Amino acid sequence: MSIGSFYKTSASSGPITIQPSTADLKAFTDFAQLVPKAAANAQRRAINKTLGWLRTHLAREVGRKEGIAMRAVRQRLRAYSVKAGSTQGKLWFGLNPIEASRTGRARQTASGVSVGRRRYKGAFYKKVYGNRPDIWIRTASKQFNARDYPESDISAAAGVSSGWIAENDNRFPLAKAKVAIEDARSLFDSWARRADERLLLILKQELNFELQKYLRRNAG
């Protein structure tokens, strides 16, 4: 039995599955038997449109809740459209921390780096690893606070370790500023329910579109 849209989270992601419930499917059973291809097309378009709607609105709410630019959140949301013969579409959401430099416009100040509503005292905005600048701090700095740098592993030589990814070289140990988005999990349940409502609305519109085409084609 189809229970409708639902979500299931793991340690690093939170996919939301979009699909019609059994009760919703009964609403167009007769039409589907009459013109199954038209009904399948309507259902596919409805699910794919709901995925796009959910991606936009979930990115907006997570961005507002966490103080992150919407474009940065959208990069963590990946929609998988309905494939032929399937009645499910998925929206994948990566939950690993986001580099702070991607959450807004980073500004170097005399006391550190600011980006959005966040301030990183003692940090600097510079290209150190990779091909783009990021927000870094020397772990020996008195202003270093591990809570502002989640998933940055500080070498044992520095005297501090958070048990995650190394961001240092032989010259000096560094930590990269990142923003944890674990709290976004709390939004999945409510948005899965909203997606169910949205899917039913769009499904009715798409079925009506297909029905009108069918009636016009067979008029007279």
Query: For the whole model, what pTM was predicted?
Result: 0.71
How far apart CA 213 and CA 220 sit, in angstroms, is: 14
Which residue, 174, 169, 152, is CA-closest to 161? 152
Residue 1 included in any domain:
no
Q: Are residues 87 and 194 in the same domain?
A: yes
How far apart CA 150 and CA 176 sit, in angstroms, is: 8
Report the pLDDT averaged over residues 181-194: 84
107: which 2 tokens? 């500004």
Is residue 152 predicted with pLDDT exceeding 80?
no
Q: Are residues 10 and 88 in the same domain?
A: yes
Number of domains in the chain: 2
Query: 29: pLDDT confidence band, cut at 50, 70 and 90?
Result: low
Cβ neighbors of 45 (< 8 A, separation 6 or more) are 202, 206
Residue 83 included in any domain:
yes
Domain that holds residue 43: 6-95+182-217
Q: Are residues 91 and 187 in the same domain?
A: yes
Any idea what the CATH number is for the domain that residue 64 is in? Answer: 3.30.1890
What's the per-residue H, E or C state across the chain?
CCECCEECCCCCECCEEECCEHHHHHCCHHHHHHCHHHHHHHHHHHHHHHHHHHHHHHHHHHHHHHCCCHHHHHCCEEEECCCCCCCCEEEEEECCCEEHHHCCCEEECCCEEEECCEEEECCEEECCCCCCCEEEEECCCCCCCHHHCCCEECCHHHCCCCCCEECECCCCEEEECEECCHHHHHHHHHHHHHHHHHHHHHHHHHHHHHHHHHHHHCCC
Q: Are residues 91 and 186 in the same domain?
A: yes
**Pairing between β-strand 165-166 and β-strand 152-153 as defined by DSSP bridges:** parallel
- Is the CB of residue 62 less than 8 Å from the CB of residue 181? yes
**What per-residue confidence (pLDDT) applies to 148?**
78
Lowest pLDDT segment from 25-29, 170-174, 193-197, 202-206: 25-29
Q: Are residues 106 and 159 in the same domain?
A: yes
131: which 2 tokens? 């091909």
Cβ neighbors of 203 (< 8 A, separation 6 or more) are 20, 24, 28, 42, 43, 46
Q: Are residues 85 and 21 in the same domain?
A: yes
pLDDT tens string 118-128 = 999 999 999 98
pLDDT tens string 38-47 = 888 899 999 9
Distances (CA, A) of 47 to 36, 67, 118, 215: 17, 29, 37, 24
Q: Are residues 153 and 190 in the same domain?
A: no
150 Ramachandran zone, left/alpha/beta (phi>0; psi -120 to 50): beta
